[in-house]
Chains A and B, each alone.
Chain A
Amino acid sequence: MTTPPDPDPGRSLRLGRRIVLAVPFLWLLALFLTPFLIVARMSLSDTARALPPYAPHWEGFGRLGEFLAALDLENYALLASDTLYLAAYLSSVRLAAISTILALVVAFPLAYAMARAPRRWQPALLVAVILPFWTSFLIRIYAWIGILRPEGFLDVVVQALGLADAPLGLLNTDAAVVLGMVYSYLPFMVLPIYAALERIDRSLLEAAADLGSPPWKSFWTVTVPLAAPGIVAGCLLVFIPAIGEFVIPDLLGGPDTLMIGKVLWTEFFSNRDWPLSSAVAIVLLAVLLLPLLVFQRALRRGEGAR
């Protein structure tokens, strides 16, 4: 690597690059870190009959000592002591994981077919995947109520085909929640996988075939590893919003459906316990950070191998 001998144009170029790079960081700072810090501060407060309904402990750096002395983490202690919250976190992780796996199972063949379709069809297929987004998300979930309700569309079809003679009773169950989440988040899984598959150089597969690899083996040893970044990105895009999902379990779920999004809603709106709900949100963030870190590591390892 050699640097250009004339430093001046290079310096202004670096300055420009720095400014460009600073934009996303400022964006993150303003729109992610600041709200996060506000929520974190709130999670250390106590509820109070005040406006807004909490009493902050953190009054600034000048009174750091006082703050640390009064720090009791009671909201987090409550989260740990009441098994309800742990059950809600685990149940959210379980439902989100099932939804993610099912979405992957449905999305991969879809994305594969799209990537293998003739070039001129691909834009139309892409639009078909995105098209549902043009209708309100809420309306589409309501439509599922119509499909799944007793004597609804699904029951009529299943009974007409003679597959069952009693109503399936799917509405207001965990199965309906998973179905709703798979349906809603499917495009987030299809698009990154399609993007990864579409980029694969077909000559690699031809080379594998020339060297005597059967198609199934080429698929597992060439296509899937090359599509891995897309698969992982898709899984994260489905898993992360699914774990905190509120509307789908509220509308399609039943009394057994315990998800952290609903617990958070109850704490915030029914109990008006802003500090505790902030603590719930912070812990949720920590739960979500874990798969992200795993993804980062996987990516780095992938790059190292290449």
Chain B
Amino acid sequence: MVRKFVAGAALAASLVLPAGHALAQQPELKIFNWSDYVDPAVLEEFTKETGVKVVYDTFDQMETVDTKLSAGKTGYDLIVVTASFLPRHIPLKLYAEVDRSKVPNLQHMWPEITSRLAKYDPGNRFAVNYMWGTTGIGYNVAKVKQRLGDAPVDSWSIVFDPAKLSKLADCGVHVLDATEEMFPAALRYLGLDPDSKKEADLTKASQLLQKIRPHIRKFHSSEYINALANGDICLAVGYSGDILQARKRAKEANAGVDIAYAIPKEGALMWFDSLVIPADAGNKDAALKFIDFVNRPEIAAKNSNFIQYASGNLAAQKHLDAAVLNDPGIYPKPDVIARLYTITPYDDRTQRTVNRMWTRVKTGR
């Protein structure tokens, strides 16, 4: 889930969408995926083995994909979408069902992940998990220690307790600009159901968010990657993959910035990036072949090793680098996984209400 904000690039990608597939002799597979979300060698191997040419486009914001799908036509054969969008998209008949008989490697999927994904895609009919992760806390180890002492960062209280967060305000706090991430976390901290749709609960969550707002420098869903890596901020609520990427960049820059990722003990939201085939895909067979290919345990492991995200493929774990498999930020321990939660989307009316509350929180009005 790399959310570098490059609106222009996403737009540009939409303009260069390959059009003339009738002209091409070689069969083509048009894939639309998050940027930096595949091992390029995997794409090459797929082409070598199947003879299908891969046209690979990337996006930086799920909203780009959502809008394309909502407008009625994408032109792609395979898209990686975030699971929270599925319950709205599936009834609109945006996707073709995955013909499981053509994807034998689905036997290697991780039942724990597949069953959780079924909350968004009942019966696992349309979506096959690609990578998954959590929404937690990324922090600058030295700066947080300097301000809060040796206490471990392991609870949402560092974000939602104004007394704690205020100590970090001077060095900078970013949180995601996403209601579906921040409200469940606030509800969980308050001991309420993170999936609650009750207006009273949501109001309580919004009041809590109002209280911590003065200590937040920015509400943004991607800038924290750079800000953490550069040492500009000391804490961010963000996606595991993004924060681990910030950690990697900080390490590479060698400027003494040490970033860590924590999954709060109260539990955190799980997200799933999943492969789907649009209903109007031109080459569904190639899409199915690709889903099967990336779920070969060795290939799935190769991908995970390269991008450093947890795969939804259980058999892949045998082939993973120890550094990836043993990183609790990537693969949390079973007891932590048990505390992770998923949410269902808001209905339209609640979504409007929550968005309004969120805008009030952000602008302090």
Contacts and interface: CB of A to CB of B under 8 A. Distances in A.
Interface of A: 47, 49-53, 82-84, 87, 136-138, 145, 149-151, 172, 247, 250-251, 254-256, 258, 263, 266, 268-273
B172 A84 contact: no
B70 A136 contact: no
A47 B88 CA distance: 14
B160 interface: no
B115 interface: no
Interface stretch (B5-13, B240-248, B307-315, B334-342): B5-13
A255 B219 contact: yes
B217 A172 contact: yes
Contacts of A247: 7
Contacts of A84: 356, 359-360, 363, 365
Main secondary structure of the interface of A (DSSP, over half): loop
B91 interface: yes
Interface residues of B, number: 39
Given A52-B71, A251-B223, A272 B92 contact: no
Given A84-B360, A149-B232, A270-B179, A251 B5 contact: yes
A256 B66 contact: no
B217 A270 contact: no
B217 A138 contact: no
B352 interface: yes
Most buried by A among B5, B61, B91, B213: B5
B49 interface: no
Given A52-B70, A251-B5, A149 B230 contact: yes
A222 B352 CA distance: 56
Nearest to A136: B8
Nearest to B94: A51
A148 B94 CA distance: 44
B217 A254 contact: yes
Most buried by B among A49, A255, A266: A255
B172 A150 contact: yes
Interface in B1-40: 5-8
A255 B216 contact: yes
A83 B359 CA distance: 12
11 contacts: A51-B70, A51-B94, A52-B71, A138-B8, A149-B230, A254-B218, A255-B213, A255-B219, A269-B61, A270-B179, A271-B352
